[in-house]
């Protein structure tokens, strides 16, 4: 069993291809192992000098339709599903190369990335992980939107969504993040959109790569996709997937309980900025005072 306190990378390089959900452009993606303390970095191999962007919240330049990193005139769009897969496997160090500006949407979930990473294997490294430990509550609210971070002895997420639609209404989920939970409860949940919004985006030249193969489409009464839903509450499960991906942009795993209500990428990132600047509410440590969640010790961690 891998040591939850040690840094990790992939054992072997993996490749995949697909289209960007908004751009409609084909993209080839390669994920390579990286040295200790390298972090997660994206590389645009299609541009001169192959510019590199670190996967950190202060590199986010847009959150209107997805989480987008940018630096020096270069962008990497729609990174949240891959970032969630890295978090689900507790991967710290990789080099992500792509030959277009937008990540492939695959099937609209994190499962294709997660399964490829599992198959490639995870390599334990010698250096210790750095953990972002919440010691005092931090909250951000704006009307009915809310995000909070609270002390906890695991990586815990609670997400709630509320839509005026008979199929969704109010849905909530709480998870303690580890590989097994991510695999069974989160990674297969697909991105979703309302038919009227999808049609509007396409009129404005957006969502060019979206289809029933990679988006759950909702009309006035139900699901347009002939295969239906993967989970009865797939909508909130995808929201927690996005939340995991966004919060991974702190650059280290969080030990704390993240609670969101009707939040999205923009509000998640606004909260990360507030959290990071609330210096008295957190600390970083390579030796947290309580166990780190893993399938083997999660109950013990919660009991202490």
Strands 26-33 and 94-98: antiparallel
Burial class (CB in 10 A: 0-12, 13-18, 19+), 22: buried
| 178 half-sphere exposure, CB direction, 13 A CA radius | 17
Evaluate whether 163 touches 39 at the Cβ level (below 8 Å): no
Catalytic residue, candidates 22, 81, 257, 265? 265
Burial class (CB in 10 A: 0-12, 13-18, 19+), 42: buried
Helix (H) or strand (E) holding 242: helix 234-247
Helix 234-247 and helix 265-277, axial crossing angle in degrees, nearest 10:
40
238 in active site: no
Classify residue 253 as left (phi > 0), alpha (psi -120 to 50) or beta. Answer: beta
Distance CA 253, CA 249 (A): 9
Catalytic site residues?
265
């Amino acid at each position: 069993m891998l040591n939850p306190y040690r840094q990790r990378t992939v054992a072997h390089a993996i490749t995949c291809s697909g289209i960007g959900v908004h751009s409609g452009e084909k993209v080839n993606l390669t994920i390579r192992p990286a040295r200790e303390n390298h972090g997660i970095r994206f590389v645009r191999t299609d541009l001169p000098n192959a510019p590199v962007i670190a996967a950190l919240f202060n590199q986010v330049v847009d959150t209107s339709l997805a989480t987008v990193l940018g630096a020096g005139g270069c962008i990497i769009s729609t990174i949240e599903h891959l970032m969630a897969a890295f978090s689900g496997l507790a991967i710290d160090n990789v080099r992500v190369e792509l030959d277009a500006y937008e990540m492939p949407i695959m099937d609209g979930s994190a499962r294709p990335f997660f399964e490829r990473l599992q198959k490639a294997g995870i390599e334990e490294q010698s250096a210790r992980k750095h953990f972002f430990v919440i010691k005092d509550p931090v909250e951000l609210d704006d009307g009915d939107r809310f995000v909070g971070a609270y002390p906890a002895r695991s990586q815990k997420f609670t997400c709630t969504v509320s839509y005026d639609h008979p199929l969704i209404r109010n849905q909530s989920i709480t998870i303690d993040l580890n590989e097994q939970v991510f695999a069974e409860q989160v990674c297969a949940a697909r991105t979703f959109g309302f038919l009227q919004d999808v049609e509007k985006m396409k009129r404005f030249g957006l969502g060019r790569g979206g289809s029933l193969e990679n988006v759950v489409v909702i009309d006035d009464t139900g699901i347009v996709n002939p295969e239906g839903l993967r989970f009865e509450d797939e909508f909130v499960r995808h929201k927690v997937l996005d939340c995991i991906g966004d919060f991974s942009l702190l650059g280290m795993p969080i030990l704390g309980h993240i609670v969101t209500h009707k939040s999205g990428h923009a509000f998640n990132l606004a909260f990360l900025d507030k959290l990071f600047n609330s210096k008295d509410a957190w600390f970083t440590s390579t030796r947290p005072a309580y166990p780190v969640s893993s399938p083997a010790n999660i109950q013990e961690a919660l009991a202490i």
